[in-house]
Amino acid sequence: MDDFDKILLTGVVTVLGGFFIHSASQLFLKLFIEPIQRYRQHKSEAVTLLSFYSNMLSARLTEDDNQEYQERYYKAQDEIRMCMASIKAAYYSISPRWLAILLRVIPNQAEFKKVTSNLLSLSFLGQLLTEQDRMSKNMDLARSTVAILGAEW
């Protein structure tokens, strides 16, 4: 091999190596980093919604509630349910999920199922509570959900 062939081979290998590294980094970015960022955004949205609607978590609609309160009540239910669906979609879009769990970036499968179950239960606000439950049941559920998500109440 003469010097020109070596220079040409070095150039080709460098370009192919750069293309491979760029492709691998873009794949890692699109399949791992960006879904984790979306998950974190939805996680913070869940904490925000639970904090914002904390005064309604044990509320029930009554016949004498005005139209504005009813609309806010239904909006709270819809927003919490939509947040649960969004956080679930973001969680399952992370690939490889085992790596994110190993790095403790996201909760494990059992804890995450508990979060989504808690958010769904909380989206009913006070409708599922019995007279014995009072306020503490949903507030405790909200506290445990926020703790699993990595925040404080």
Tokens found for residue 147: 């703790």
> pTM of the entire structure?
0.81
CA distance 81 to 131: 24
Question: Are 119 and 73 a contacting pair, CB within 8 Å?
Answer: no
**Who wins on pLDDT, 125 or 34?**
34
Q: Residues 103-124: pLDDT tens digits?
A: 999 999 999 999 999 999 888 8
Tokens found for residue 148: 């699993």
